[in-house]
Amino acid sequence: VTQLTKLIAHNLYINTWIFKIDEEFNGRGHASINVENIKTIIELRKKKVEMTESIVRKLEEVMKKVLPKKVKIAMPSLYRTFDDYMAAFCKSGGVIEAAPLCQANQVSSPSVSFFIEPHGTIQIVGSYDKFASSQFVNAGCFFPQTSLPAMNLYTLCESVSSQLYQKGIMGHVTIDLVSFPNPTDPKAHPLFWAVDINCSMNDYAAICWFFDILMEGNLEQETGEYNIEIMKESDDNHMQHASDDILPDNPLFNMAAAVKAGGNTNILLEPRSFMYCSFLHHPGLSTIQYKTFFHMCRLESISFDMEKRNGSTFCLFDSLQSGVIGMLTIGIHRKVAVNYMIDALSFIQ
């Protein structure tokens, strides 16, 4: 409470504060509090007085009273009460972060995963925008990230990896960011904060590797975009009509399709995106054999086309997580991947 009070006192116009437990992941240990409706803070904002020790002490007494009532725990099934949450927070340690001064739906959560080689060079594994099933609880991701369109991912990762490598850290690393509109110029490039760094492989990095194995394509190290090589159809008009039907006015597809791979005029580059949902639960999945389930999926055209390299794939978990599967849908761009996911979810439900 003391640390939160000091942060509020020195950053009086921040409306939302986020708590994160160190040992949790995917937002499981998150909680938040919105302070803009607390009477004492409203008065301090109106008066614009200089913060003194007596004012801070008064504010701390107020926060002790309102904190248990106003804190929203992201996973109440894990931490049933505020006391349970605070006990875990104090035992494991954690951080308190300020939320950006904008609407919640304007905040994005891009991440970049990369690999530090033993000799210090890096390889970008993938960039993705995480999405939430509830506030602050991650449910999956979109690949590639589009929240920071002009970001040079390689330069960002290289600057971080150089510091880690000096400390003897190698292997898989993920940088979690938060992006939001520039408050002084909403039309400018979004601003971003680095909010976390994980020195291990996570689910999202692993799914990027899985995606790469399926696609056998190329990841652009600077932009994070992914392209595969396809054979040019003999009938150019047929190809143009097909692309117009699927992707009307899509500049990304037109740009990529115009690029010749390796000087071979019969090979074009085509972009790929995916949507990944970490956990999909249905009680009926625990009572059906995978063979039967996959057969039912094929009857509903929920499948992966190995030749075209798009469609839906499933990530199976062990028997301890019976009734739960993960799902990866791949398309020529994000909208197609989302449509594949919607079709699959409609069938599973």
Tell me the average confidence (pLDDT) per consecutive run of 10 residues in the chain, 349 residues long: 92 93 86 93 88 90 93 92 93 92 89 96 96 84 92 92 95 95 86 91 94 96 94 58 46 44 73 94 81 90 94 79 86 96 90
111 neighbors 143 (Cβ within 8 angstroms): no
Q: Give me the numbers of helices (H) and strands (E) for the chain, helices first please.
A: 10, 17
Q: What digits encode the pLDDT tens for the residues 70-85?
A: 999 999 989 999 999 9
Strand partners, 196: 176
Distances (CA, A) of 336 to 232, 297, 340: 21, 18, 6
347 neighbors 291 (Cβ within 8 angstroms): no
Give pLDDT, residue 252.
43
DSSP class of 234:
S
pTM of the model: 0.82
Q: Which positions ≥6 away from 331 have C-beta within 8 Å?
A: 272, 273, 274, 310, 337, 338, 339, 340
Give pLDDT, residue 237.
47
147 neighbors 190 (Cβ within 8 angstroms): yes
